[in-house]
């Protein structure tokens, strides 16, 4: 049995979406138990809208009176909202009542609370945010995506270890290729930190393939791309922006006049297949990695399909014992 706590109140859509995702996950995985956390009345009402028979007693409700706002400051929510659905979900992991938690709440508050309550693994200075990015040959894991604006070479090395564990454990990549994000043509004399990180990773037992550039993320010749959270966040947001721009340009071109709208009818099935392939919902669920416990961040405006993907990420990481494996590989890589 894998038991996961789901913060059902945070995020843009709250309980209805979270509960629908929870029901779907429980039906798909008979070995899964879920504790939904939030306002008990609201949650029970929402659960009553679904057929509960086929999930049996694998679904329980844990009351939490407060909700962390999507724009609330991490420090404030940490200090003042000790009975929030977010905090209670993480507490359940800390107490051992759940092995992982999933929340669509605000990233800063979730990270601050997770760090405060769960603490980092031994040998890990700071947790990182990691997520799969679609590539030509499947996907690439990238970290850090925004938790740490500035990183030491040691932290970048720890990210490399954590990314490699995730690629191997959850994405079934044998001896994952680890690359360090850098810029190409220039002399780079300034950036000592990346040179040193390269040396640390190169000297370890990881399958280090050296520096990679921004376009390599999407080519698929590297399994884990390591960078600081500033660069990673900019790369991620830039990609989101470009993706939306291209989608809009395609829509505009296909709706320009009667002729192009006819073409759209013919092209529709193909465009739908294309869309499924790049559907960000299947990539929903970023891991806060490096904590004593598994915390998965769902996108704030995730629908039920996307939210269920995030629950699935949590389930797989628990089953594959990701935190334990990080501890082992880290000790091994440092020659302990």
Specify the 3-state DSSP secondary structure of 333: helix
Binding-site residue total for a second copy (CB under 8 A)?
68
Among the listed residues 148, 158, 204, 298, the single contact to a second copy using CB under 8 A:
148
Phi, psi of 63 (to 5 degrees): -70, 140
Least distance CB 264 / a second copy (angstroms) = 7
Q: Does 248 bind a second copy (CB under 8 A)?
A: yes
Site for a second copy in 40-79 (CB under 8 A): 74-75
196 binds a second copy (CB under 8 A): no
Taking the complex as a whole, the smallest distance from the CB of residue 274 to a second copy amounts, in Å, to: 5
Shortest Å, Cβ 173 to a second copy: 19
Distance CA 294, CA 281 (A): 20
Chosen residue from 84, 99, 233, 294 binding a second copy by CB under 8 A: 233
**210 lines the binding site for a second copy (CB under 8 A):** no
Binding-site member from 254, 303, 305, 321 for a second copy (CB under 8 A): 254
Q: Which helix (H) or strand (E) holds 100?
A: strand 100-103
**HSE-up (13 A, CA, CB side) for residue 42:** 18
Q: Which stretch binds a second copy (CB under 8 A): 4-12, 31-39, 55-63, 262-270?
A: 262-270
Site for a second copy (CB under 8 A): which residue of 120, 135, 152, 292?
Answer: 135
Q: Is 185 a residue that touches a second copy (CB under 8 A)? A: yes
Q: Does 253 bind a second copy (CB under 8 A)?
A: yes
Place of tokens 């990695």: 289
Pairing verdict, β 207-212 and 2-7: unpaired
Question: Shortest gap between Cβ of 236 and a second copy (angstroms)?
Answer: 7
Smallest gap from residue 231 Cβ to a second copy (A): 5
Query: Using an 8 Å Cβ cutoff, are 110 and 103 in contact?
Result: yes
Helix and strand element counts for the chain (H, E):
12, 11
Tokens of 105: 């709440």
Under 8 Å between Cβ of 54 and 27: yes
Helix (H, G, I), strand (E, B) or coil at 233: helix
Where do the H-state alpha helices sit in 170-215?
A: 192-203
Interface with a second copy includes 106 (CB under 8 A)? yes
Q: How far apart are CA 10 and CA 104, in angstroms?
A: 6
How far CA 102 is from CA of 93, 154, 244, 254, 331, in Å, comes to 11, 28, 26, 39, 28
- Taking CB under 8 A as the criterion, the residue among 40, 42, 173, 263 binding a second copy is 263
| 65, 257 Cβ separation under 8 angstroms | no
Q: CB of 185: closest distance to a second copy in angstroms?
A: 4
User: Does 258 engage in binding with a second copy (CB under 8 A)?
Assistant: no
Residues near a second copy (CB under 8 A) are 74-75, 106-108, 111, 134-136, 146-150, 181, 183-188, 190-191, 213-219, 227, 229-231, 233-246, 248-250, 253-254, 256, 259-260, 262-264, 266-267, 269-271, 273-274, 277-278
């Amino acid at each position: 049995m894998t038991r996961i706590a789901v913060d059902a109140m945070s995020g843009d859509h709250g309980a209805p979406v979270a509960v629908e995702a929870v029901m779907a996950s429980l039906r798909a995985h008979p070995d899964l138990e879920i504790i939904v956390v939030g306002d008990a009345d609201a949650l029970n009402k929402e659960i009553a809208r679904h057929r509960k028979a086929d999930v049996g007693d694998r679904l329980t409700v844990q009351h939490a009176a407060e909700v962390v706002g999507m724009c609330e400051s991490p420090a404030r929510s940490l200090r003042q909202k000790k009975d929030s659905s977010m905090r209670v979900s993480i507490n359940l992991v800390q107490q051992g009542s759940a092995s992982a938690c999933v929340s669509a709440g605000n990233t800063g508050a979730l990270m601050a609370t997770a760090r405060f309550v769960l603490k980092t693994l031994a040998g890990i200075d700071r947790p990182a945010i990691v997520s799969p990015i679609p590539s030509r040959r499947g996907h690439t894991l990238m970290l850090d995506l925004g938790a740490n604006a500035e990183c030491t070479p040691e932290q970048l090395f720890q990210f490399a270890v954590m990314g490699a564990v995730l690629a191997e454990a959850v994405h079934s990549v044998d001896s994952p290729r680890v690359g360090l994000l850098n810029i190409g043509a220039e002399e780079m004399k300034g950036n000592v930190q990346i040179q040193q990180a390269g040396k640390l990773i190169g000297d370890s037992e990881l399958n280090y393939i050296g520096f990679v550039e921004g376009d390599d993320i999407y080519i698929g010749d590297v399994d884990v791309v390591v960078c600081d959270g500033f660069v990673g966040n900019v790369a991620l947001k830039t990609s989101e922006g470009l993706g939306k721009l291209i989608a809009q340009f395609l829509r505009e071109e296909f709706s320009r006049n009667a002729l192009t709208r006819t073409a759209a009818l013919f092209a529709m099935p193909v465009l739908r297949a294309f869309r499924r392939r790049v559907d960000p919902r299947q990539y929903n669920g970023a891991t806060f990695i490096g904590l004593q416990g598994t915390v998965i961040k769902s996108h704030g405006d995730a629908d039920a399909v996307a939210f269920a993907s995030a629950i699935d990420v949590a389930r797989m990481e628990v089953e594959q014992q990701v935190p334990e494996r990080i501890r082992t590989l880290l000790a091994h890589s440092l020659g302990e």
